[in-house]
Amino acid sequence: MPATFTRTPAHEVERKDTGIGGRPPVDKRPTGGGGGDENWDRHGHGRGGPRELITRYRMALIFGLSGDLMFFIAIVSIFFARQATGHFDARNDYVMDWRPIYLPSILFINTAIMLVSSLTMEIARQQLFRETDVMDEWLGIGRPMSRRATPWLLATIALGLLFLGGQWIAWEQLSEAGVFFSGNPASHFFYLITGAHGAHLLLGLVALGAAIAGVYWLKRVEYRQILVDCTAWYWHSMGVLWF
Amino acid sequence: MSWLRRHVFTTNHRSVGLLYLALVAIAVAIGVVLSLLMRIHLAWPALCFPGWGVMKPEDYLALVTIHGTLMVFFVLTIGPQNAFPSLILPGQIGAKGMAFPALNAVSLWMTALSLFVLLAAFLVPMGAPISGWTSYPPLSAIAAAGPGQALGMDCWLLSLAIFAVGQIFGAINILATIIDTRVKGMTLGRMPLTVWSWLISSTLVLPAFSVLLAALVLLFCDRHLATSFFVPLGDAVAGHVIRYGDGSPLLWLHLFWFFGHPEVYIAILPGMGLASSLFANFSRRPVVGYKLMATMTVAIGLLGFLVWGHHMFVSGMNPYAGTAFGLTTMAIAIPSTIEVLSWMGTLWAGSKRRGGLILKTPMLFALGFLSFFIAGGLTGPILAQPALDIYLHNTFFVVAHFHLIMAMAGAFSLFAGVYYWFPLITGRRMNETLGRFHFWFTLIGAYGTFFPMHLQGLAGKPRHYADLTGPAASLLPNLLPSERGITFSALLLAASQTFFLVNLIWSALRGLKADANPWQATTLEWRPSSEEELKLIRHGPYEYDVAWTESDFIPQWAEGGDQE
Query: Is the omega angle on the peptide bond into residue B270 within 30 degrees of 0, that is, cis?
Result: no
Cis geometry, peptide bond prior to residue B138 (ω within 30 degrees of 0): yes
Residues of A with CB under 8 A from a CB of B: 32-33, 35-38, 40, 45, 47, 52, 55-56, 59-60, 63-64, 66-75, 78, 81-82, 85-87, 95-97, 181-182, 185, 188, 192, 196
- Residue B193's alpha-carbon distances to A107, B152, B196, B269, B443, in angstroms, are 50, 41, 5, 10, 25
List chain A residues with CB under 8 Å of B246: 85-87, 95-97, 185
Q: State residue A38's pLDDT score.
A: 42
The whole-angstrom separation of Cα B59 and Cα A238 is: 45
Asked if A81's CB is within 8 angstroms of B248's CB, the reply is yes
User: In this structure, are residues A49 and A32 in contact, taking their beta carbons and an 8 Å threshold?
Assistant: no
The fraction of chain A above a pLDDT of 70, given in percent, is 51
DSSP H or E run through A87: strand A87-88
- In the three-class reduction of DSSP (H, G, I as helix; E, B as strand; rest coil), residue B49 is classed as strand
Tell me if B136 sits within 8 A of B314, measured CB to CB.
no
In 3-state terms chain A splits into helix, strand, coil percentages (rounded to 5) of: 65, 0, 35
Estimate to the nearest angstrom the gap between the alpha carbon of B84 and the chain centroid. 12
Q: What is the DSSP letter of B471?
A: G
Say if the Cβ atoms of B210 and A38 lie within 8 Å. no
For B229, the closest of A66, A82, A87 (CB atoms) is A82
Flag if B210 and A71 touch (Cβ within 8 Å).
yes
pLDDT tens for residues A67-81? Answer: 888 888 888 888 888
Work out the percent of chain B whose per-residue pLDDT is above 90. 60
A74 and B185: CB-CB below 8 Å? Answer: no
Judge whether residue A235 has pLDDT over 70.
no
Confidence of residue A158 (pLDDT cuts 50, 70, 90): confident
CA-nearest residue to B96 within chain A is A48
Q: Which residue of B has its CA nearest to A195?
A: B217
Cβ within 8 Å, pair B172-A185: no
Q: Using 50, 70 and 90 to split pLDDT, how confident is the model at A15?
A: very low
The enclosing H or E element of B240 equals strand B240-241
What's the confidence (pLDDT) of residue A241?
62
Domains of chain A: 50-242 (1.20.120.80)
Question: Is residue A160 within 8 Å of residue A208, measured between CB atoms?
Answer: yes
- A194: phi then psi, degrees, rounded to nearest 5: -65, -35
pLDDT over 90 (residue B39): yes
Q: Of A205-209, B382-386, B399-403, give the lowest mean pLDDT range.
A: A205-209
Cα–Cα separations (whole angstroms), residue B551 to A45, A115, B189, B346, B519: 32, 65, 24, 19, 13
Q: What are the chain B neighbours of A45 within 8 Å (beta carbons)?
A: 184
- In the structure, what pLDDT confidence band is assigned to residue A237 with cuts at 50, 70 and 90? low
Instruction: Give the C-alpha separation, A73 to B466, whole Å.
Output: 39
- Complex ipTM value: 0.81
**Predicted TM-score (pTM) above 0.90:** no
CA A191/CA B557 separation, integer angstroms: 56
Residue pair A187/A171 in contact (Cβ under 8 Å)? The answer is no
Q: How far is B184 from chain A (nearest CA, A)?
A: 7
Domains contained in chain B, CATH given: 15-526 (1.20.210.10)
Q: pLDDT tens, B196-234?
A: 999 999 999 999 999 999 999 999 988 888 777 888 777
Residues of chain B positioned with their CB less than 8 A from the CB of A185: 227-229, 245-247
C-beta neighbour count of A170 within 10 angstroms: 19
Distance, CA of B19 to chain centre: 17
Of the two residues B168 and A238, the one the predictor is more confident about is B168
Task: Measure the CA–CA gap between B452 and B86, rounded to whole angstroms.
Answer: 37
Cβ density class A2-36: b for 16+ within 10 Å, e for less: eeeeeeeeeeeeeeeebbbeeebbbeeeebbbeee
- Per DSSP bridges, beta strands A87-88 and A94-95 are antiparallel
- Chain A residue numbers with beta carbons less than 8 Å from the beta carbon of B213 are 71
| Closest-approach residue (CA) in chain B for A188 | B227
Whether residues A185 and B228 touch (CB distance < 8 A) is answered with: yes
